[in-house]
Amino acid sequence: MSYAKKFKEMDDKGLTWGQAVTEANRCLLCYDPPCSKGCPAQTDPGTFIRKLRLQNVTGAVRTIKENNILGGSCGILCPTPLLCELECSATEIDRPIRIGKIQRFLVEHSWETGFKVFKKPKADKERVAVVGSGPAGLSCAAELAKDGYSVTIFEARPKPGGVLTYGVPAYRLSENFFMEELKDITGLGVEIKCNAPVDKKGGAEKLLEEGYRAVFLAPGLWEPIRLKENSENIEGVFTATEFLSALREGKHEEFGAMIAGRNIAVIGGGSVAMDSAETARRLGAKDVYLVYRRSFKQMPSEEGEKMEALKEGIHFLLLNQPVDFVVENGKLKGLKVIRTKLGEKDSSGRRRPVEIPGSEWVMDADVVIEAIGSKAAEGSTGWYPSVKTNAKKYIEIDKKTGATSVNGIFAGGDIVRGPALVVEAVQDGKIAARAIKKYLRGEE
């Protein structure tokens, strides 16, 4: 059997009609629904659940899509137990309403019935350029296109979607699902140019010179944070982005041959680390270890993700800090680790991991996947040389508008806030789109 066939695909469909309606009927119909306040993208679950309960299905779909053009993808990927569902009033009676699953159902139902929320508007207003086709860029482009602006997205990679295409395993979000949702955006008249990095066009400022009246920057963070500077030169060491992207491109056999029957160490404790660990397990790894310097409770990944990883047989190696690699002739032989204990709280509000002197040890590892995080690309400031950035190379903006230090250039997504949620990037795009429209109308 090929390695590709070993993967559990994303479920073909979410809730059934009966399941979705039954779930909606559990809603308490709060006068001022707290779940809506818990959604960073203001998708307004309180309203779309109420409409579903009252059998106004098209109205429910319209609420989702008008507020969040990527409502289907967010319904799947959002950490709803930490956001809208955490605020659900039904929690004190039973369990929270399964808001994310209802959201996915409604979007899929609209596809099955052929219901279209938006009609293609006449593009009779100014031209706007969007750099990056991740959640922030797509959201901004859609909001502008709805109002008749002519929007072109410039994407450096071969396919659109950013993290939705290259950073999420297919068993969590399939390409077919995302491409179906993308039709809602291209159907508005948004043009997406792939293999079109802005650095080869002279940067964002050059786009203004070419006739685009405004530019929205959302290139994301694609430079991996690595344990050691020379990590990329060690055979058997990969970044999580490199690993997951390769599998999205169909390289199951290549990576399966490296991973099957071997010991795999994944460095990190977030959602990407969980995805990497579960993916390695599905490729036939003998043992997969999540190596994390804090405790189980402090891992930034969702509770459900952690429990799923445990069910998959993944080992959690907690309170251990990787410090270096054991290498022979350029090939990985092991991972050097030091034990830690929890100290005082740091700026994140979590107790700081403190290394225990003399507790170093070496764990056997045939492959290491670094899921430590990501940062701005080394030369990214050259893509927009006049735009003010900070020490991390993040773009500095007015948080209320997304405006940068250059007139006509706005920004949002991870390049502004650092690694964050898809739903937060969607909201950044919406905020910037509103500001861009005011800017083009000559308003404050």
| pLDDT tens digits for range 157-182 | 999 999 999 988 888 899 999 999 99
> Which CA distances in Å does 287 have to 86, 260, 263, 277?
34, 10, 5, 10
283 in any annotated domain:
yes
Last residue of a domain, which of 78, 113, 148? 113
Domain shared by 248 and 301, yes or no: yes
393 in any annotated domain:
yes
Q: Which of 407, 433, 439 is nearest to 68 (CA)?
A: 433
CA 14/CA 218 separation, integer angstroms: 30
119 in any annotated domain:
no
pTM over 0.85: yes
- Number of neighbouring beta carbons within 10 Å of residue 315: 15
At residue 328, the pLDDT reads 94
| pLDDT tens digits for range 370-392 | 999 999 988 899 899 999 999 99
CA 406/CA 298 separation, integer angstroms: 39
Q: The domain spanning residue 134 has which CATH number? A: 3.50.50.60
Domain shared by 178 and 236, yes or no: no
2 in any annotated domain:
no
Q: Is 391 exposed, middle or buried (0-12, 13-18, 19+ CB in 10 A)?
A: exposed
Tokens of 265: 């160490």
5 in any annotated domain:
no
The segments of the chain whose pLDDT lies below 70 read 1-12, 200-202
The residue segments making up the domain with residue 193 are: 127-222+375-440
At residue 346, the pLDDT reads 87
Instruction: Say how many domains are in the chain.
Output: 3
Across the strands, what pairs with 167?
A: none
Domain shared by 71 and 157, yes or no: no
CA 114/CA 296 separation, integer angstroms: 45
Domain shared by 319 and 236, yes or no: yes
Domain shared by 217 and 237, yes or no: no
122 in any annotated domain:
no
304 in any annotated domain:
yes
Domain shared by 251 and 327, yes or no: yes
Domain shared by 299 and 381, yes or no: no
Domain shared by 284 and 164, yes or no: no
Contacts of 247 (CB under 8 A, 6+ apart): 169, 170, 255, 279
136 in any annotated domain:
yes
Contacts of 18 (CB under 8 A, 6+ apart): none
